[in-house]
Chain A
Amino acid sequence: MTTVWMRRAAFTGRWLGLSLYLGFALFPLYWLLKIALTPTRLLYSEGVRLWPSATTLAHFAQVWTTTQFPRYFWNSAQVALGAATLATLAGALAGYALSRWEFRGKASVSFVLLVTQMFAVMLMIVPLNRMLSGVGLNDSLLGLAVVYAALNVPFATFLMQSFVDAIPKDLEEAAMIDGCTRFQAMVKVVFPLTLPGLAATAGFAFTAAWSELFLALVLINREADKTIPPALLSFITKFSVDWGQMAAASVLLLIPVCFFFAFVQRYLVAGLTSGAVKG
């Protein structure tokens, strides 16, 4: 029996917990904001202060006008969206297949998918570069997106397999008795129920591609096709780290990302499950 007191305690406890998490998650980002607003001359003398004695928007202005960050952002977005879409679609189909069927070669498929995740990518870079040059996809965003998709498909597959596993087979059986083909059952019945899983998978593939550094650095030469992580490196010159601009660029990055998450999380919380699963 839960008393009012217990419920209130639980409520406060919950929000206290959430605040702690929020604080932990946001403090470094707050720090970036603080640095982005600190004039360069005060960066080190006031390094420890929680808020600078004078603020400036100069770093933001410089990043926006003198660097090509808006372009890099757009490049990263394209590559990440492309890779995420491709990986999620391929992974969802493959995950469904692995979940619903037993067949010869199933273990081999899982093996192949796993192996490509486990071998250090840095050793594959030279042959990868050569291969992409062979098909004209080197130094291009499309080539990069394809590589990212390939790298994320195994993860997407296993994750989707796991989400599909959690959906009882009765639902598809019921749909097929009603006249659907298996494919229709998959698309109309199962996938809507795994929407949170799909959203999660897409989100992860997106951020993996968004954040990846080494391949982006090596596979792309053209300035116009640079993505964000290598571009951030350019703030670290041999001579200094331009913290102000780097922080400003990061803050500018965060704004659209925040919106993206706000959008995606609506699907994460899709509570479509409650009636259908019981069957």
Chain B
Amino acid sequence: MHTHALSMESKTLPPQAQRAASHRMRHALPWLLLAPALLLVCGVLLVPLGVGVSYAFQSMSMDNLFGEAGFAGLDNFRTLADDPKLGGVLRNTLGWTVYSLVFQCGLGFGLALLLRHSGTGGRRLQALLFLPWAIPSVLIGLVWKMLFSPYTSPLPHWLAYLGVLPQAADILADPDLAMLGPVVANVWFGIPFFTITLLAALQAIPEDLYEASALDGATAVQSFVRITLPLVMPTLLITVLLRSVWIVNFGDLVWIMTQGGPVGATQILPTYLFSTAFTDLNEGYASALAVAQLVLLLVYAATVLRLRRRIMAGRTEEST
């Protein structure tokens, strides 16, 4: 935790008498500002979250679907450790998240860079370029499912013609290729997210920095690496963190396009959770899975946030 903010404040403090009063104000103000957000989140979600987590310690199955659930201690977590399918599900989830993220982020960043220098023409195109983000996920899944089927779209035929696919077949039916389907749909959906966020961050970089470095003789690539990347990094990291947490929980596309199949090749955590809770009717185990997922994601988030803080601290040290 860096303390330079407080030190900045003390430079402008008024005389002793008022110091105490504004000190109290200062400590109250952040909480006041946080109040609406905390009120919403705690008021609406905290209790259901607690109940949902409590399922992990109960034995819930179709036998007591509507009645009292028995206390099960850590049984559900023991099942977790022994679940043969879990390894595959975690692997799929990792692949799903990493591939979706890398391509969304990379392509989104690329688009943001392109748009930044494209003036009014680019601005007019933005409404069209960002459309995928506005499509409900149900529709995205259905359209892409259609686009991958050789009976209802020319795409597999084109891919076969270009040699990308050995034949014009539906990749969603091939256990080795099926995951690519939802990934492509997810990338299509997610590019606008990164473009918009990074564009906003890019806007905040003053032009003079680039002018100055151009005068110093830096190439475009050098400007990018030395100016753009570092200044965009804090936003980028947060965006990546939030988006990856979101993707890990995003089961709609996979559910609609492949249902987790064939043979569990596209079974990711959210779809696995869903079928455990609503088909196997084992909410206890589903909750244990969710708790485990929660822990993993918290560790991941803590790591990313610490990295980000280090970068930001480094940057402020440079500027002072």
Judge A-B direct contact (beta carbons within 8 Å). yes
The A85-107 residues at the B interface (CB cut-off 8 A) are: 86-87, 89-91, 93-94, 96-98, 100-103
Shortest Cβ gap from B112 to chain A (Å): 11
The A22-51 residues at the B interface (CB cut-off 8 A) are: 22, 24-26, 28-29, 31-32, 35, 44, 47-50
Q: Which residue of B lies closest to A150 (CB)?
A: B44
Q: Are A113 and B134 in contact (CB under 8 A)?
A: no
Q: Which residues of A contact B319 (CB under 8 A)?
A: 168
A25-B188, A158-B242 known; A103 and B27 CB under 8 Å? Answer: yes
A48-B157, A127-B48, A261-B126 known; A207 and B200 CB under 8 Å? Answer: no
Q: How far is A147 from B179 in the complex, measured between Cα atoms in Å?
A: 31
Q: Which residue of B lies closest to A124 (CB)?
A: B48
Q: Are A233 and B138 in contact (CB under 8 A)?
A: yes
Q: How far is A127 from B45 in the complex, measured between Cα atoms in Å?
A: 10
Q: Are B239 and A159 in contact (CB under 8 A)?
A: yes
Q: Are A123 and B52 in contact (CB under 8 A)?
A: yes
Q: How far is A260 from B127 in the complex, measured between Cα atoms in Å?
A: 8
The B36-81 residues at the A interface (CB cut-off 8 A) are: 36-38, 40-49, 51-53, 55
Q: List 24 A-B contacts (CB under 8 A).
A: A18-B114, A25-B128, A25-B131, A25-B132, A48-B151, A94-B34, A101-B26, A103-B27, A115-B298, A116-B49, A119-B53, A131-B47, A150-B44, A162-B238, A169-B5, A173-B8, A196-B203, A204-B193, A207-B133, A210-B134, A261-B127, A265-B123, A269-B123, A273-B204
Q: Are B196 and A31 in contact (CB under 8 A)?
A: no
A21 at the interface (CB under 8 A from B): yes
Q: Quick one: which of A17, A173, A265 contacts B114, CB cutoff 8 A?
A: A17
A232 at the interface (CB under 8 A from B): yes
B29 at the interface (CB under 8 A from A): yes
Q: Quick one: which of A120, A167, A270 contacts B290, CB cutoff 8 A?
A: A120
The A204-252 residues at the B interface (CB cut-off 8 A) are: 204, 207, 210-211, 213, 228-229, 232-233, 241, 243, 246, 250
Q: Are A166 and B234 in contact (CB under 8 A)?
A: yes
A112 at the interface (CB under 8 A from B): yes
A211-B135, A273-B203 known; A91 and B29 CB under 8 Å? Answer: no
Most buried by B among A21, A111, A204, A229: A21
Q: Which residues of B contact A229 (CB under 8 A)?
A: 136-138
Known: A94-B34, A102-B1, A155-B242. 11 other contacts (CB 8 A): A28-B132, A28-B140, A49-B154, A101-B26, A119-B49, A153-B37, A154-B41, A204-B196, A269-B123, A271-B203, A277-B206
Q: Which residue of B lies closest to A235 (CB)?
A: B142
Q: Which residues of B contact A169 (CB under 8 A)?
A: 5, 8
Main secondary structure of the interface of B (DSSP, over half): helix
Interface residues of B (CB under 8 A from A): 1-3, 5-6, 8, 12, 26-27, 29-31, 33-34, 36-38, 40-49, 51-53, 55, 107, 110-111, 114-115, 117-118, 122-123, 125-140, 142-144, 146-147, 150-154, 157, 188, 191-193, 196-197, 199-201, 203-204, 206-208, 231, 234-235, 238-239, 241-242, 245-246, 249, 252, 270, 273-274, 277-278, 283, 286-287, 290-291, 293-294, 297-298, 301, 305, 312, 319
Interface residues of A (CB under 8 A from B): 14-15, 17-18, 21-22, 24-26, 28-29, 31-32, 35, 44, 47-50, 86-87, 89-91, 93-94, 96-98, 100-103, 109-128, 131, 146-147, 149-151, 153-159, 161-163, 165-169, 173, 176-177, 182-183, 193, 196-197, 199-200, 203-204, 207, 210-211, 213, 228-229, 232-233, 241, 243, 246, 250, 254, 257-262, 265, 268-271, 273-274, 277-278
Q: Which residue of A lies closest to B290 (CB)?
A: A120
Q: Are B30 and A103 in contact (CB under 8 A)?
A: yes
Q: Quick one: which of B29, B40, B129, B234 contacts A165, CB cutoff 8 A?
A: B234
Q: Are A119 and B204 in contact (CB under 8 A)?
A: no
Q: Quick one: which of A44, A114, A159, A246 contacts B152, CB cutoff 8 A?
A: A44
Q: Are A91 and B196 in contact (CB under 8 A)?
A: no
Q: How far is A233 from B146 in the complex, measured between Cα atoms in Å?
A: 16
Q: Are A258 and B128 in contact (CB under 8 A)?
A: yes
Q: Which residues of B contact A14 (CB under 8 A)?
A: 114, 117-118
Q: Are B114 and A196 in contact (CB under 8 A)?
A: no
Q: How far is A31 from B135 in the complex, measured between Cα atoms in Å?
A: 14
Q: Are B206 and A131 in contact (CB under 8 A)?
A: no
A90-B40, A112-B41 known; A254 and B298 CB under 8 Å? Answer: no
Q: Are B235 and A94 in contact (CB under 8 A)?
A: no
Shortest Cβ gap from A31 to chain B (Å): 6
Shortest Cβ gap from A72 to chain B (Å): 11
Q: Which residues of A contact B2 (CB under 8 A)?
A: 102
Q: How far is A159 from B19 in the complex, measured between Cα atoms in Å?
A: 32
Q: Which residues of A contact B111 (CB under 8 A)?
A: 17-18, 21
Q: Which residue of B lies closest to A113 (CB)?
A: B41
Ranked nearest first, the 6 interchain pairs of A and B with the lowest CB-CB distance are A196-B200, A94-B37, A150-B44, A124-B48, A97-B33, A127-B51
Q: How far is A119 from B127 in the complex, measured between Cα atoms in Å?
A: 33
Q: Which residue of A lies closest to B137 (CB)?
A: A211
Q: How far is A156 from B40 in the complex, measured between Cα atoms in Å?
A: 13
Q: Which residues of A contact B290 (CB under 8 A)?
A: 119-120, 123
Q: Are B131 and A261 in contact (CB under 8 A)?
A: yes
Q: Which residues of B contact A199 (CB under 8 A)?
A: 200
Q: Quick one: which of B136, B147, B270 contacts A31, CB cutoff 8 A?
A: B147
